[in-house]
Chain A
Amino acid sequence: MTLSAHVVVQRGSLAVDVDLAVGDGEVLAVLGPNGAGKSTVLRVLAGLLTPDGGRVALDGDTVWDDDATHLPAHRRSLGMVFQDHLLFPHLTVCDNVAFGLRTRGARRAPARAAAAAWLDRVGLEGLGDRRPGELSGGQAQRAALARALVGDPRVLLLDEPLSALDARTRLTVRAELHRHLAEYAGSAVLVTHDPVDAMALAGRVVVVEDGRVVQAGTPAEVARRPRTDYVARLVGLVLLPGTGHGTTVQLDGGGTVAVGEEAAGPVFVAIRPASVSLYLQRPAGSPRNVWPLRLAAATPHGSVVRCDLAGEVPLTADVTTTSFAELALAPGASVWASVKAADVAVYAR
């Protein structure tokens, strides 16, 4: 059983054209910045939005395509979790969870019993009689997950399920969500702008920017080899496009970088800010990668200071607070930056 979709939607200036396929028991994260069209794709999968073209198929059954097949949302076997839970405020938590069973014809008593069992599973035993307004954010999102999963849907759609929660709650709910997703047999699609959610919860990630898939792969692949500035920033790398000539890469923006592996043709160079060292004088010895740059901005970042450097090769360097104090750098100051060739990742574009 799989969910496969080709979604084409024109929304104002945003042209969404995204291909997705999710297998049984698989969790696919759709990662991207706000306004990239992630939620639009999810709404099309749910049947809440009619696309302008493409095809959505569940288990090989087409539920939407250009030629008149259109199964409305309420007849698709799916569960959806929204960012701000959207529990019905006029129903008790238990009746909220039982809602999907009731609309699909279950009698009241068995529906409530199944709902209560699911409330136990998500750790809300005894809270079924409350109104959604009496729950904390984390509890409400757990109840929303129970409501989406109670009918054992073939597809589970999660629209930024953790982003409305405070940092502490997010951690625990993320761990629980991970457990429930591991037990879930259907296809799950998680939309998020938080790379941590995508890395922690999904087996595969597609990165969507401006309505297009710009990168797809396992979380580890995406984190190690970002293909756009957006992803590189998310995973904390500096990404420089260039052309490989042996162990040297001629950067598109000017300058060269020595790399550890042979590379040829169009490539990306990825540099971890922690592997960049800063000096006031040109460093002794002869490291192959050394550039005179200018400090554009410095911001404290945990135990390090993140230095944005401008010049021929724009870099970011993370230096310890102590080193930063010893360098006594003011914005605009000239520095020498160096990085070992072995610390520079290079991969085909």
Chain B
Amino acid sequence: MSHRSGPKSRFWPLGRGDGGVPVPLLVPAVLAVGFLVLPLVGLVVRAPWRELWPALASPGVGTALRLSLVSATAATAVSLVLGVPLAWVLARSRVRGRPLLRALVTVPLVLPPVVGGVALFLVLGRQGLVGQWLFETFGLTIPFTTTAVVIAETFVALPFLVISVEGALRAADARFEDAAATLGADRWTTFRRVTLPLVAPGVAAGAVLCWARALGEFGATITFAGNFPGTTQTMPLAVYLALQSDPEAAIALSLVLLAVSLATLVLLRGNWLGRAGVTP
């Protein structure tokens, strides 16, 4: 390690050697941190801390929060049941057209959620491709129900789970599965007793990510499920509505969502992400 001096040290303000950050990278990086953190600071600073409790204790907030937690959890459960097998197919099977399949799975990630809501409506609405049949055969109507909320959230959040589980599967050593096969385990037994335990940290991280995404879902939900307190009005919808009539309440609700998000992040970092990166 040589001491840098003269004109060079101007370029390496954070110390010499390999740890230094060049100015052209440092300044934008600091700006980016400020850009991401300042709004959150604003939210905390401007929060009506004194009226917070009454605002949160109002029955509407409790209902929205409960609905949000229940529907996000349900969406995560559906995503796990459907998404883990899909991730396995993408990572392990030799099914043809996997690149296309992966591209299709990724579409909801980049699609504006509102468009997703419209698309869901066209399929599951009373006049929709599947919805019409559901209504005529079983008398089922999906839009503007809590089921619709779960479906909208699943549509948007499922890709997050699939992508992270597929990544975990690809990172896991597939030779453990070879070893299991030589020990008499068929592919299903191998999946249950070897693969799934090996990628459990990745599945957990994917589930938390998926849950967080479902919890914050707005566009697809309001389009496909509407905004009815008690049945389809989740927290983000409640925040949006409150902002128009009662900004203080909106801030209070936002704080709740911020707290839940931070708790999720702590859970993710502390418990799962740390281990997810470690190969056994």
Contacts and interface: CB of A to CB of B under 8 A. Distances in A.
Interface of A: 43, 46-48, 72-75, 78-80, 82, 86, 88-91, 99-100, 103-104, 133, 147-148, 151, 157
A90 B280 contact: yes
Nearest to B175: A86
Contact of B183 (A100, A133, A157): A100
A73 B280 contact: no
Contacts of A99: 180, 183, 185, 193
Contacts of A82: 175, 178-179
A86 B176 contact: yes
A100 B184 CA distance: 6
B182 interface: yes
A80 B185 contact: no
Interface residues of B, number: 20
B153 to A, nearest CB: 31
Interface in B174-199: 175-176, 178-186, 189-190, 193-194, 197-198
A188 to B, nearest CB: 14
Nearest to B173: A86
B183 A103 contact: yes
Interface centre among B182, B185, B194, B198 (most CB of A within 10 A): B182
Main SS class of interface, A: mixed
A90 B198 contact: yes
A103 B182 contact: no
Nearest to A151: B184
Contacts of B189: 74, 103
A73 B185 CA distance: 9
Contacts of B186: 72, 74, 103
A103 B185 contact: yes
A88 B176 contact: yes
A43 B178 CA distance: 9
A73 B181 contact: yes
Contacts of A157: 182
A79 B181 CA distance: 10
Interface of B: 173, 175-176, 178-186, 189-190, 193-194, 197-198, 200, 280
19 contacts: A43-B178, A46-B182, A73-B178, A73-B181, A73-B182, A74-B184, A74-B186, A78-B182, A86-B173, A88-B197, A90-B197, A99-B183, A99-B185, A100-B183, A103-B193, A104-B184, A147-B183, A148-B182, A151-B184
Nearest to B198: A90
A157 B181 CA distance: 13
Contacts of A86: 173, 175-176, 178-179
Contacts of A104: 184
Contact of B179 (A80, A133, A151): A80
Contacts of B182: 46, 48, 73-74, 78-80, 148, 157
A249 to B, nearest CB: 48
Contacts of A148: 182
Nearest to A47: B181
Contacts of A151: 183-184
B278 to A, nearest CB: 10
Contacts of A47: 181
Contacts of A100: 183-184
Contacts of B190: 74
Contacts of B173: 86
B181 A74 contact: yes
Given A82-B175, A103-B189, A133-B280, A88 B194 contact: yes
Q: A78, A82, A99, A133 — which one has the most chain B CB atoms within 10 A of its CB?
A: A99
Chain A CB within 10 Å — which of B175, B183, B185, B189 has the most? B183
Nearest to B187: A74
Nearest to B183: A100
A90 B181 CA distance: 17
A103 B189 CA distance: 8
Given A73-B182, A74-B181, A89-B198, 17 more contacts: A43-B178, A47-B181, A48-B181, A73-B181, A74-B186, A74-B190, A82-B175, A82-B178, A88-B176, A88-B198, A90-B200, A99-B183, A100-B183, A103-B180, A103-B184, A103-B189, A103-B193
Given A86-B176, A90-B280, A74 B185 contact: yes
A147 B181 CA distance: 13
Contacts of A48: 178, 181-182
Contacts of A133: 280
A12 to B, nearest CB: 18
Nearest to B181: A73
